[in-house]
Amino acid sequence: LLLRTPGVLPQQVDETHVSNLYNYQVINKTNKEMPVEFRLAGGMEATGTIQLIGQAPTAEAGKVAEGALFIILEKSALQGHKTEVVVEVYTNGELVDEVNTNFMAPGR
């Protein structure tokens, strides 16, 4: 689960980049600990980055890992006020989920 943090406006990082803050929940339904990695996909990997707040998450067996992250995109990649972004979730190098979310551009 990856949701834009309510009440937080998009931020202009510098002249060419914008960031949005997201909250995530990763549910580990296995009986093994899972290190979690997030990657941009769908063509956005070349124009953006994901910056975790805090340490890289590890989902303990049978538990939920929660945290926050920034998605930072180049302004040139934005498609109007709202741009769809695809985030892939990996554990041990294996793709385990793909999440679509919206990236909001700052107001003009």
For the purposes of burial, counting CB atoms within 10 Å of the CB of 4, is it exposed (0-12), middle (13-18) or buried (19 or more)? middle
Q: Token pair for residue 5?
A: 């943090």
* Tens digits of residue pLDDT in 17-55: 999 999 999 999 999 999 999 999 988 888 999 999 999
- What's the CATH number where 20 sits? 2.60.40.10
What per-residue confidence (pLDDT) applies to 36?
A: 96
Whether this model's pTM surpasses 0.85: yes
What per-residue confidence (pLDDT) applies to 108?
A: 56
What per-residue confidence (pLDDT) applies to 1?
A: 87
**Number of structural domains in the chain:** 1
The domain containing residue 10 runs over which residues?
2-104
Average pLDDT, the chain: 93
Report whether pLDDT(99) > 80.
yes
